[in-house]
Amino acid sequence: MRVLLTGHQGYLGTVMAPVLAAAGHEVVGLDSGLFADCLLGPSPADPPGHRVDLRDVTADHVAGVDAVIHLAALSNDPLGSLAPDLTYDINHHASVRLARLARDAGVRRFLYASTCSVYGAAGGGDLVTEDAPLRPVTPYAESKVRVEDDLHALADGDFGPVFMRNATAFGYSPRLRADIVLNNLVGHALLSGEVLVLSDGTPWRPLVHAADIARAFAAALTAPREAVHDRAFNIGSEINNVTVAEIAEQVAEAVSGARVVITGETGADPRSYRVDFSRFRAAIPGFDCEWTVKQGALELADAYRKFGLTREDFERRFTRLAVLRAASDAGTVDDTLRWRR
Ligand SMILES: NC(=O)c1ccc[n+]([C@@H]2O[C@H](COP(=O)([O-])OP(=O)(O)OC[C@H]3O[C@@H](n4cnc5c(N)ncnc54)[C@H](O)[C@@H]3O)[C@@H](O)[C@H]2O)c1
């Protein structure tokens, strides 16, 4: 397949592009490159790509494409809360526009990177399935719910959206993010000797390795239409349904000498959910996630050590919000996060 991969220069896209290529697909990227230089380790060999803002995509970008994998977005809660209007412009409106262009161009499959945070304040009781009520508690999560709704309305006999509700990712990517929980805790542990948890540690936060997300998307790309058409899937594994305190314990085991410190200063976090991942396994026989939280913590600790993580990089280069604030302060992006010419 000729696959348009938006967000190919992000944390997940950089891991996913080679997985798709290895599966025999022709990958074409599309990214404005906001985090292209946020590298830990050597530069990856990106696929050919369009350097374009998602809001400026035209029919030319989707012409001749068989499938779209749509990752590009302001990718977390702090970014979404920084400028909710911008989040809705980019994550919601521009995503739906891309989907319409794709449908008009005859694209048959559209894999959308949604998130388990659509379940929001589901609590830690029963495992939430894809049929659970959606209770987003941030503009970021709300933007994902709106896109799912609008893409569902576009589904027809030819155009098949698939909603991939990923758990929170972890693990090494050449374009690292240290603002996601496991990657953050491992980095902090290495730099300070403390696994620092600012919440009270009780929220449930299902995790999934970036490489397992990439494998799931590759599987959904070629799955029979009836297995995935217009369906939502939680992407992850029940063994990685963990509380933040449990994640911290795993990190302390992976980084020798580090001790867990739970300050509780940010109080209880309303984003708490335990998730049932069985629907995707049933749709894609043979698929399962390969990585545990502990393995991911060990892998990251090795990568951070090998490539010499510094506090400066940890706090600035690998924190999406800090990168955008710095670009804005330096005047390289305008207040709509478009590059200045
Ligand atoms: N990482 C996670 O834990 C996680 C979990 C669930 C869902 N997701 C979703 O997966 C997707 C990828 O996440 P990620 O962790 O790789 O994030 P990321 O921030 O590393 O990558 C996002 C990419 O989108 C690009 N982008 C942002 N705004 C753009 C715009 N206006 N035009 C063109 N490109 C733009 C950025 O340049 C970046 O390369 C996102 O949609 C995110 O919401 C991520």
Choose the residue to mutate in 8, 12, 46 for probing ligand 1, maximizing ligand atoms within 8 Å of C-beta: 12
Q: 56-80 pLDDT, tens per residue?
A: 999 999 999 999 999 999 988 777 7
Q: What is the pTM assigned to this prediction?
A: 0.97
Q: Name the burial class of residue 194, with classes exposed (0-12), middle (13-18) and buried (19+) by CB atoms within 10 angstroms of its CB.
A: middle
Q: Whose CA is nearest to atom 12 of ligand 1?
A: 71
Q: Whose CA is nearest to atom 41 of ligand 1?
A: 71
Give the number of the atom of ligand 1 that is nearest the alpha carbon of residue 54: 32
pLDDT number for residue 79: 74
Q: Whose CA is nearest to atom 9 of ligand 1?
A: 113
Structure tokens at 116: 């388990």
Closest CA to 269 of 122, 73, 76, 100: 122
Single-letter code of the amino acid located at 275: V
DSSP secondary structure code for residue 81 in this structure: H
Residues framing ligand 1 (Cβ under 6 A) = 7, 9-13, 31-35, 53-55, 71-75, 90, 113, 115, 166, 168-169, 177, 180, 320
Q: 260-270 pLDDT, tens per residue?
A: 999 988 877 77
> Ligand 1 center to residue 10 CA distance, Å?
6
Backbone φ, ψ for residue 289 (5° rounding): -75, 150
Q: 78-128 pLDDT, tens per residue?
A: 777 768 899 999 999 999 999 999 999 999 999 999 999 999 877 667 899
Q: Name the burial class of residue 123, with classes exposed (0-12), middle (13-18) and buried (19+) by CB atoms within 10 angstroms of its CB.
A: middle
> Ligand 1 center to residue 259 CA distance, Å?
31
> Ligand 1 center to residue 73 CA distance, Å?
4
Closest CA to 149 of 59, 85, 77, 230: 230
Q: Hey, how many other C-beta atoms are within 10 angstroms of the C-beta on 131?
A: 8
> Ligand 1 center to residue 256 CA distance, Å?
32
> Ligand 1 center to residue 7 CA distance, Å?
6
Structure tokens at 46: 């990106």
> Ligand 1 center to residue 70 CA distance, Å?
9
Closest CA to 87 of 100, 77, 102: 77
Query: By the 8 A CB rule, do 8 and 142 touch?
Result: no
Q: 254-310 pLDDT, tens per residue?
A: 999 999 999 988 877 777 889 999 999 999 999 999 999 999 999 999 999 999 999
Q: 122-163 pLDDT, tens per residue?
A: 766 789 999 999 999 889 999 999 999 999 999 999 999 999
- The CA distance from 5 to 102, in Å, is 12
The superfamily in CATH containing domain 2-329 is: NAD(P)-binding Rossmann-like Domain (3.40.50.720)
> Ligand 1 center to residue 12 CA distance, Å?
7
CA 7 to centroid of chain Cα atoms: 10
Structure tokens at 101: 């262009």
* Helical segments of 155-290, H only: 181-192, 210-222, 225-228, 244-254, 278-283
